[in-house]
Amino acid sequence: MPGPTEAPPPTLRLRGVAKSFGAVTAVRDVSLDLRPGRVHALAGENGAGKSTLVRMLAGAHRPDRGTVELDGRPTVLRDPAAARAAGIAVIHQEPTLFPDLSLAENLYMSRQPTGRLARIDHRALRAATTAQLARLGVALDPDRPARGLSIAEQQLVEIARALSLDARIFVMDEPTAALSGTEVEYLFTVVRGLCARGAAVLFISHRFEEIFALADDITVLRDGQWVSTDPAHRLTPDTVVRRMVGRDIGALFPKTPATPGETVLAVEGLTRHGAFTDISFTVRRGEILALAGLVGAGRSEVVRAVFGVDRYDAGTVTVAGKVLRPGSPAAAMAAGLALVPEDRRQQGLVLDLSIERNTALTRLRGLARRGILTTRRERAEALRWSERLRVRHSGTHAPAGTLSGGNQQKIVLAKWLATAPAVLILDEPTRGIDVGTKAEVHRMMSELADRGMAIVMVSSELPEVLAMADRILVLHEGRATATLPGPTATAESVMAAATGTPEEGP
């Protein structure tokens, strides 16, 4: 958003709020002002206190001390209903719509207009839903089930629902993590429209380009404490990173030069009709191969096929000279492959199970003795990997769903590293995690490669691809268009191949 203007009085003010869970202090003396017509970004590593602050604003947690003021008057957000009554709406990374109900039913849940004999007036319900969506420039069928909507469309329905409840404070917690570039731009247009109507927006994102494109003000948290609040135009991404983690952006990619060994993985002529065609590549011991390309290029589909999650129609996958049986993850694991999937919540973890059980899932037979798996063995395994990967948790007995995004990703990594793979496939390994955890993941990748592990990385972040890859395989519409040496590749050469256009000369 454009630069300096005189700030209006805050709609919502936090002063010295704190929250502890047992002996763990999650938030300590944090102050924050949310002003009408402005976007306030909240930046910090995983574990910095952002999620706890969001839950306090949503009424899910009550602060142990400190004050919350609404329009200058003290208020208590004792529960989610009180937060909604105060005009606070939380838009989560994962939408909360009921998938089998219509958009209209989701939007006006428990508030449907009624007619004679107290029956729901479906005509009025559809009209009201259409009107609310139109405020956001959205044209969707009110009778359509929510199940078929994209993540972006579901988020817009949630915003429309909040507007129907007269919300004027919007808390957006990683709303862009699963959106395409076009969807992000449209969401930003909607957010700017909300601000033009006088709404106050708290925006949480790990993507600095989004923060600086949208925010008027930026607050940085570290270890649960307030560090700084400044107008966005006075800051740079490097300044924010230093305040968050105490180091420069350059330290986020601790890649050491590779000395590759023999070929471990060979993919030849891999084809899956409608997804990708004639994909061939090799990966050697100690090498990081990145698969780059635009959304929909087929990168995730290729690695899923290599690991046996999806079947393919032609081609071969060979590990250490042995051709794998298609469509068999068990065969892939037995051959020494491991896949950290793109969606850690849906594909990588069982959120209701403990950290211990999630860590042990890939090694149940190896940890069992005479067919019996004890809690003690599970706990020892989880503690070993938690210490190695520096996982922050309240105890390994806690459900994986209680962890922050970065710590969830570490548990997925631990689960697969425990199998001691020869080839580690990482699909978007740093999506939705903070810069500090990204640096830890990058450092781990570099160390594993140094020890001789072959790594295949799918990433949509070009700086990550250029900094971490020894070689880059670029895909465009399901076909390989270039293989580039990592040290000499440029953003221009990768994007030229990713868009299927020849790179222009100097």
Average pLDDT score, the chain: 87
**DSSP string across 310-366:** S--SEEEEEETTEEPPTT-HHHHHHTTEEEE-S-IIIII--TTSBHHHHHHGGGHHH
Whether the pLDDT of residue 116 is over 60: the answer is yes
Residues 218-242 pLDDT 10s = 999 988 899 999 999 999 988 887 8
Whether the pLDDT of residue 87 is over 90: the answer is yes
Whether the pLDDT of residue 213 is over 80: the answer is yes
pLDDT at residue 64, as a whole number: 95
Mean pLDDT within 264-279: 96
pLDDT at residue 209, as a whole number: 87
Contacts of 22-27 spanning 24+ positions with Cβ under 8 A: 22/394, 24/394, 25/224, 26/52, 26/224, 27/52, 27/53, 27/56, 27/63, 27/224
Whether the pLDDT of residue 388 is over 90: the answer is no
Statement to judge: residues 221 and 280 lie in one domain? no
Task: Establish if 112 belongs to a structural domain.
Answer: no
Statement to judge: residues 204 and 303 lie in one domain? no
Beta strand spans in 366-467 (E): 423-427, 454-458
Task: Establish if 432 belongs to a structural domain.
Answer: yes
Statement to judge: residues 354 and 226 lie in one domain? no
Domain residue limits at 309: 262-499
* Residue 316 belongs to domain with CATH number: 3.40.50.300
Statement to judge: residues 241 and 273 lie in one domain? no
Task: Establish if 124 belongs to a structural domain.
Answer: no
More confident residue, 499 or 292: 292
Task: Establish if 5 belongs to a structural domain.
Answer: no
pLDDT at residue 103, as a whole number: 93
| Prediction pTM value | 0.63
Task: Establish if 140 belongs to a structural domain.
Answer: no
Paired strand residues for 475:
293, 480
pLDDT at residue 2, as a whole number: 44
End-of-domain residue from the set 182, 215, 246: 246
pLDDT band at 51 (very low <50, low <70, confident <90, very high): confident
More confident residue, 41 or 247: 41
Residues 411-428 pLDDT 10s = 888 888 888 899 999 999
Statement to judge: residues 291 and 165 lie in one domain? no
Task: Establish if 486 belongs to a structural domain.
Answer: yes
pLDDT at residue 506, as a whole number: 40
Residue 408's Cβ-count burial label (10 Å; 0-12, 13-18, 19+) is: buried
End-of-domain residue from the set 246, 271, 291: 246
Task: Establish if 391 belongs to a structural domain.
Answer: yes
Statement to judge: residues 226 and 289 lie in one domain? no
End-of-domain residue from the set 246, 273, 300: 246
Statement to judge: residues 182 and 309 lie in one domain? no
Statement to judge: residues 291 and 369 lie in one domain? yes
Statement to judge: residues 430 and 300 lie in one domain? yes
Q: How many domains does the chain have?
A: 2
Statement to judge: residues 214 and 281 lie in one domain? no
Among 171-180, 241-250, 391-400, the least confident range: 241-250
pLDDT at residue 104, as a whole number: 93
Whether the pLDDT of residue 405 is over 90: the answer is no
pLDDT band at 505 (very low <50, low <70, confident <90, very high): very low
Q: Angle between the 405-417 and 435-450 helix axes, to the nearest 10 degrees?
A: 10
Task: Establish if 251 belongs to a structural domain.
Answer: no
Statement to judge: residues 242 and 357 lie in one domain? no
**DSSP string across 240-268:** HHHHHHSS-GGGG---------SEEEEEE
* Start-end of H helices in 135-260: 151-164, 181-196, 208-214, 237-245
Rg (CA), the chain: 24
Statement to judge: residues 285 and 332 lie in one domain? yes
